[in-house]
Chain A
């Protein structure tokens, strides 16, 4: 089974702090994604990566950055956390390439910024 893990299930940070959310997948997938999930808005793509050291902006990249130094690990960075970044963050991976390839999701990190 594909396993996508995220470093924390729950996280509480203060405004202005630098926040790291880590995601690791164990299936050698090429593509990895970071989403945020808010009620009534579904999932929105923040950033994705299709290879090591490669990254692409999603639909809402402002206030976020990412890092992919190794194939299995994709990190989301909030340089200076703000209260409007309080949300559920979901990481996903997919082998890519085939039309029906689903994305496999981690359990999510519920981040609260005070």
Chain B
């Protein structure tokens, strides 16, 4: 069965510093995709970044990068130069491509607080 684990219920970081949010996954699918979403207090889920299991390079999107270590089954999100507006819940999610390919499995989330 597929599973996503986020071991940090809460994190805090000083403004302008970098922070890493951990995510490990478990799957027997040879092909899969990993997503990170941000959920501010308003409630809407915002897509941040995607990594395919066969992508050779780590994904980057602006201040977000994904530290993908396939052998360790980890897909940590790195936020550089944190801003106050980065305070939110962050969810890691995985999609498998064998059967039920449309479904995402989510982790429990990490609440990030950015301090001035």
A residues with a Cβ closer than 8 A to B are: 9, 31, 33, 35, 40-45, 48, 50, 58, 88, 90, 92, 94, 96, 99-100, 102-108, 110
29 A-B residue pairs with Cβ-Cβ distance under 8 Å, sorted by A, are A31-B102, A33-B102, A40-B9, A41-B108, A42-B91, A42-B108, A42-B109, A43-B93, A48-B103, A50-B102, A58-B103, A88-B43, A90-B43, A90-B45, A96-B102, A99-B52, A99-B97, A100-B52, A102-B35, A103-B45, A103-B47, A105-B44, A105-B45, A105-B46, A106-B44, A107-B42, A107-B43, A107-B44, A110-B43
A44 CB contacts on chain B under 8 angstroms: 106
B residues with a Cβ closer than 8 A to A are: 4, 6, 9, 31, 33, 35, 37, 42-47, 50, 52, 91, 93, 97, 102-104, 106-109
Total contacts A-B at CB 8 Å: 57
9 new A-B contacts at CB < 8 Å, known A45-B103, A96-B102, A103-B45: A40-B108, A42-B6, A42-B91, A94-B102, A99-B52, A100-B33, A100-B50, A106-B44, A108-B43
